[in-house]
Amino acid sequence: MYARRRHIYFAMMGTCLGLFVLAWAVVRLWSMPVAVGMCLGAMVIPPVAAMIANRRGPEDRWWDDPSGDPQSDEWWDELDGRKRPR
């Protein structure tokens, strides 16, 4: 899932850069308001791309990752019912 989110992020950022370049290299020659509108539309893309790239899916099991502290991990495993108490 991480690879798919990364691909979507780079596609969105490429679209954003493409809109900026197209707006000020080509479209401004015919219509300045349209070029400004394209830039305003491109301005919205980076925050949305960051939210998509950083969201967690239902299959991402980040809460099950060990913390690195063996005593804490053992305690949490016992609470979650994965291991029997000693």
Residue 85, pLDDT > 60, answer no
DSSP state, residue 84: -
Largest CA distance in the chain: 77
pLDDT grade for 63, boundaries at 50, 70 and 90: low
Whole-angstrom distance, CA of residue 59 vs CA of residue 81: 20
Tell me the pTM: 0.64
- Tokens 């690879």 locate to 3
- pLDDT at residue 64 in the model: 66
Distance of alpha carbon 7 from alpha carbon 39, whole angstroms: 22
For residue 68 the two structure tokens come to 């690195």
Statement: residue 30 has pLDDT above 90: yes
Q: Say if residue 28 is exposed, middle or buried (CB neighbours under 10 Å; 0-12, 13-18, 19+).
A: middle
Average pLDDT in the 2-26 region? 92
Report whether pLDDT(66) > 80: no
